[in-house]
Amino acid sequence: MPIQRLLVANRGEIARRVFATCRRLGIETVAVHSDADAGLPFVREADVAVHLPGATPADTYLRADLVLDAARRAGADAIHPGYGFLSENADFARAVVDAGLTWVGPAPESIEQMGSKVESKKLMEAAGVPVLANLTPDTATEADLPLLVKASAGGGGRGMRIVRALADLPGEIEKASSEAESAFGDGTVFVEPYVEHGRHVEVQVVGHAEGVLVLGERDCSLQRRHQKVVEETPAPGLSDTTRHSLHEAARAAAAAIDYRGAGTVEFLVDAADTSRFWFLEMNTRLQVEHPVTELVHGVDLVDLQLTVAEDRPLDGRAIGETYGHAIEVRLYAEDPAADWQPQSGTLATFDVPGVDGEFDLLNRPGIRLDSGFESGSEVSTHYDAMLAKVIAWGTSRDQAARRLADALAKARLHGLVTNRDLLVRILRAPEFVAGDVSTDFFDRTDVVSTGSTDEGDRGAAVAAAIALAERDRLARTVQRGIPVAWRNVVAHPQRTEFEVSTGSTTEVVEWFGGRDGYAVDGFSVVAASPTTVTLEVDGVRTSYDVAVGATGSHDVDVDSPAGHVRLRLVPRFTDPADAVASGSLLAPMPGTVVRVAVEVGSQVEAGQAVLVLEAMKMQHTVSAPTAGTVTQIDVQPGAQVAAGDVLAVVEGDEA
């Protein structure tokens, strides 16, 4: 029977993506949402929304019983799992089928066969697909180093650790298992050799009654913490022979389990010799990076999923020839310069210019945006930190990279630290432009550095100071005609100080205000308002857009052709209540305390773990900044903390 009303057992961007195809096909939609997600766009866009009480994944999106009950109450006749959460849970898929609903995904048996990375490797080896050796702490030797510990039941970098010393292996297995248990409800991990200079290449397949359709490959080698950052198709630098071999290996993998629906077969390719590759895993679901395949191949993969689920034949006219090159970047709320710490809070402004379409195929090369958030959205600590996927489609790889870098550079992203500047540097890096991509890209390039320039920071600070002065001038209820900061007898300039978020530096702007406007050493102020300031230096004019945070906030965001600079106004007087004791360890982000590794009175060394926080499904260690004594611990395991909360105090040794 044709699907009439479909529930998406997921959230954010992927829920909106599935809804977009459903609207085009005339299928009604149902959203499920947690407390934390109630205000997000995907809830508003669904025809019907069902509340799942709670905030954490374990209380909401991972509760199969609640999702099935929501489907019953909303009158849904089909469920699409998206990716993550329950998307590769065979028991959930079986429960959906047993409830008489249409499951938009592969058979539960296929999910089970590929759900365990340990067992799937054995299955692939039997099918003639190359695999890496499976090791254990007892069988691993020095010659096998480095090693990779991986979660058997999940992906996305959770439960994954690189081990370079055998003595560290037991401890890293324990950490990986704990993280996997938290993320996937299954702490099973395995160990295999780690290929230092490898490439992550995956092949898109769609299994149906007529066989296995192969829709090219994607290169997903640029990763941080084993999570993908940049994806593209076709994979650069592969020979036609290697490309064909990868496609056929993926076809054999899907055929070995009679796979039905959209899926991805992932391979590790030797970057030094791309003819050598090994099976990693099969994702029995839609991939995050599926838009690049859709644009180059001209197909709607969600539509194909629904076609297979409804047992309809594939429309051959929908499978056209490939055209051009597509590159996708994952825009995260995280700080790459601070060990990729995830961020949470209000996304004050979210605007990407020049977008040609959202969640859809494009009728010509351009920019596509798939986002789960909008201006004013709250980014919580309970879920992944990805804000959006920005995808560029061009006639060539160079064109796609240039177009994508330009769109990102001109985006207005305020309220949270993001990885936007890093993405721009990646796309413009000579190594990336040359197609020299591998999983160790960040280790062998300097793109992670802040890239902040004194000249850019200085111009932004001057513009911010003038904009704030203009805001104060217009806000006055008396003496509105008097120029701001005007004095009969000028004794000294006005002084405005900012902290610059990139590089943790400060900028002090000294300026004068009078009947003839503003005067700043080295700059001519051509025009000024509370939101836009035009400065001239050496005859070159630059306009700066200035956005001041909400009432009471000291944050100022400045956008210009030189890029984005986030500033924080330094108050003239410090509130004593804001002071903290010397040696205080502050929470770097909102999260949950999962472990306290020391006690009051413990002697610690610099860099020694004091606490472990969990935020956005990842664990983060808070370490002692110096050798000393733990004199205070203010939290216990299970405690919820906000960014900046005092967790503990370490008093440094006098030496």
**DSSP conformation letters of 520-588:** ETTEEEEEE-SSEEEEEETTEEEEEEEEE-STT--EEEEEETTEEEEEEEPPSS--GGG---TTEEEPS
Phi and psi, residue 611, nearest 5°: -140, 165
pLDDT of residue 314: 87
Q: What is the pLDDT of residue 6?
A: 98
* pLDDT tens sequence across 59-72: 999 999 999 999 99
Rounded Cα distance, 109 and 256, in Å: 12
Beta-carbon contacts of residue 244 (< 8 Å; ≥ 6 apart): none
Residue 428's H or E segment, with its range, is helix 420-428
- Please tell me whether residue 318 adopts helix, strand or coil conformation: helix
On the question of pLDDT at 139 being above 60, the answer is yes
Are 413 and 564 a contacting pair, CB within 8 Å? Answer: yes
> Given this model, what pLDDT does residue 179 score?
82
Strand partners, 535: 525, 542
Q: What is the pLDDT of residues 107-120, one digit of tens each?
A: 999 999 998 878 89
Look up the CATH superfamily of 133-193: ATP-grasp fold, A domain (3.30.1490.20)
Q: What is the pLDDT of residue 643?
A: 76
Average pLDDT over residues 584-598: 86
Tokens standing for residue 445? 């390039």
Q: What is the mean pLDDT of residues 28-41?
A: 97
% of the chain exceeding 90 in pLDDT: 67
Q: Provide mean pLDDT across the span 606-617.
A: 83
Question: Residue 502: its pLDDT value, please?
Answer: 65
Tell me if 33 sits within 8 A of 105, measured CB to CB.
Answer: no
Fold of the 454-569 domain: Glycoprotein, Type 4 Pilin (3.30.700)
Of 643, 638, 635, 641, whose CA–CA distance to 589 is shortest?
643
The residue-averaged pLDDT of 282-293 equals 97
The pLDDT of residue 181 is 83
Dihedral angle sign, alpha carbons of residues 589, 591, 594, 598? positive
Highest mean pLDDT, choosing among 169-178, 189-198, 233-242, 587-596: 233-242
Q: What residues contact residue 430 under an 8 Å CB cut-off, 6+ apart? A: none
Q: Which of 69-83, 198-212, 399-413, 437-451 has the lowest mean pLDDT?
A: 437-451
Strand pairing of 494-500 and 341-342?
unpaired
Of the listed ranges 434-443, 548-557, 619-628, the one predicted with least confidence: 548-557
pLDDT at 573 over 80: no
Calculate the CA 308 to chain-centre distance: 30
At residue 142, does pLDDT exceed 50?
yes
Which range has the worst mean pLDDT, 23-37, 156-170, 448-462, 474-488? 474-488
* CA 204/CA 159 separation, integer angstroms: 24
- Which one is the CATH code of 5-104: 3.40.50.720, 3.30.70.580, 3.90.1200.10, 3.40.50.20? 3.40.50.20
Cis peptide before 483 (omega within 30 of 0): no
Summarize the confidence of residues 420-446 as an average pLDDT: 95
Answer yes or no: is pLDDT of 320 > 80: no
pLDDT band at 485 (very low <50, low <70, confident <90, very high): low
Rounded to whole angstroms, the Cα distance separating 634 from 650 reads 12
- DSSP H helical ranges for 75-168: 90-98, 108-115, 117-126
Residue 517, C-beta contacts closer than 8 angstroms, at least 6 positions apart: 483, 525, 528
d(CA 378, CA 448): 26
Residue 203: partners with Cβ closer than 8 Å, 6 or more residues away: 214, 216, 217, 218, 246, 247, 249, 250, 264, 265, 267
Give residue limits of the domains in the chain: 5-104, 133-193, 198-444, 454-569, 576-652
Question: Average pLDDT for residues 541-553, to the nearest whole number?
Answer: 86
Phi/psi region, residue 583 (left: phi>0; alpha: psi -120 to 50; beta: rest), is: left
Would the pLDDT of 578 be above 60?
no
Q: Give the pLDDT band (50/70/90) at residue 154.
A: low
pTM listed for this prediction: 0.86
Its CATH architecture, for the domain 576-652, is Beta Barrel (2.40)
User: What is the structure's pLDDT at 538?
Assistant: 94
Beta bridge partners of 514: 517
Q: Across the chain, what does the average pLDDT equal?
A: 91
CA distances to 319, 334, 339, 434 from 293, in Å:
12, 26, 31, 21
Hey, how many other C-beta atoms are within 10 angstroms of the C-beta on 186?
A: 17
Residue 548 pairs with which residues in a beta bridge?
556
DSSP code of 135? B
Between 84-98, 286-300, 308-322, the lowest mean confidence (pLDDT) is in 308-322
Q: How far apart are CA 160 and CA 182, in angstroms?
A: 13
Report whether pLDDT(490) > 90. no
198-444 CATH: 3.30.470.20
CA distance 267 to 278: 5
Cα dist from 382 to 61, 324, 621, whole Å: 11, 38, 17
* pLDDT classification of 483: cutoffs 50, 70, 90: low
pLDDT (0 to 100) of residue 487: 65
State mean pLDDT over 173-183: 83
In the chain, the amino acid numbered 557 is: D
Given this model, what pLDDT does residue 607 score?
86
* Distance separating alpha carbons of residues 173 and 543, to the nearest angstrom: 53
- pLDDT value at 655 more than 50: no
How many C-beta atoms surround the C-beta of residue 299 within 10 A?
Answer: 22
> Higher confidence at residue 133 or residue 398?
398
Q: Is 508 exposed, middle or buried (0-12, 13-18, 19+ CB in 10 A)?
A: exposed
Mean pLDDT check: name the lowest of 6-15, 477-486, 511-520: 477-486
Distance (Å, whole) CA 392 – CA 415: 25
pLDDT at 576 over 70: no
> If pLDDT is split at 50, 70 and 90, which confidence band does 448 have?
confident
Q: What is the helix, strand, coil percentage profile of the chain, to 5?
A: 25, 35, 40
pLDDT of residue 354: 94
Residue 452 has pLDDT above 70, yes or no: no
DSSP string, 173-195: HHHHHHHHHHHHS---EEEEE--
Q: Which DSSP string corresponds to 437-504? A: --TTHHHHS-TTS----HHHHHHHHHHHHHHHHHHHHHH-SS-TTSPTT--SS--S-EEEEEEETTTT
pLDDT of residue 481: 60
